[in-house]
Amino acid sequence: MSNSNFDLRHRLIGNLGYTINYGKDNMFGTSVNLFYAGRSGGAFTYLYNGDLNGDGANGNDLLYVPNSASEIKLLDIVNKSGEVVSTAAQQWEALNAYIEQDDYLKTRRGQYAERNGAFMPWQHQFDLRIAQDIGGIFNGTKNRLQLTFDIFNVGNLLNNKWGRNYSVSNSAYQLISYNNKDEGFTFAGPKDNKAYSVSSLASRWQGQFGIRYIFN
């Protein structure tokens, strides 16, 4: 049996701004504001690909994290021509390296992974707003036209490795495959050696212009 963890996220929020007013009666003004939001990565679960416990449901069995090669029966991976493309020894070397580089899995050696026990990296986002006020007095009343330009996730505009948003499909990753016929396992390894992926659209910076009329 394994424990279940809740997806508790930590958040950090900050705001830094500067405003200067000038001109007659301070009718003109320029302001710059930088907003920050950071949050711990979402939780996900490590599973087997296959029906390990024979309950008829595929891909929902919690992963056992082996201490050594003796605790997992790895099978050679062969192609359609019957040629071995990855031996059991090679797979164990890759699997062992993956476990060691994973902050969560290396703490679960000799145990099953927990549901929602693993977490994706922290996510950081900076948003920038520049506002320009253009004012005047008409018929004794102050009137202002405010022009704004917002850049969401401005860090990604400066560096494509900043402001990244991460995701795991269905909040679960099937790390090891189980072969029911041969009662053994195979390990191919995830892309870039990470269970999570970068959400391309959510990680992009975006710009927005705005205009507002203000009168007193």
**Where along the chain do its domains lie?**
11-215
Chain segment 26-38, per-residue pLDDT in tens: 889 999 999 999 9
Percent of the chain at pLDDT above 90? 72
Mean pLDDT (whole number) for 170-189: 94
Chain segment 174-183, per-residue pLDDT in tens: 999 999 888 9
Mean pLDDT (whole number) for 192-197: 91
Per-residue CA distances from 192 to 59, 181, 188, 196 (Å):
22, 30, 12, 9
Q: Provide the residue type at 156 as one letter.
A: N
- Please check the confidence at residue 69 and state whether its pLDDT lies above 60: yes
- Please check the confidence at residue 1 and state whether its pLDDT lies above 70: no
Range with the lowest mean pLDDT among 3-7, 80-84, 188-192, 193-197? 3-7
Give 81 or 156, the one with higher predicted confidence. Answer: 156
Average pLDDT, the chain: 91
Mean pLDDT (whole number) for 196-208: 94
Chain segment 91-149, per-residue pLDDT in tens: 999 999 999 999 999 999 999 999 999 999 999 999 999 999 998 777 777 888 999 99
pTM for the structure as a whole = 0.80
Strand partners, 31: 19, 131
CA distance 215 to 193: 57
Strand order across the 123-138 sheet:
11-22, 28-39, 123-138, 141-152, 206-215
Q: pLDDT class for 216, splitting at 50, 70, 90?
A: low
Nearest to 37 by CA among 15, 59, 7, 52: 15
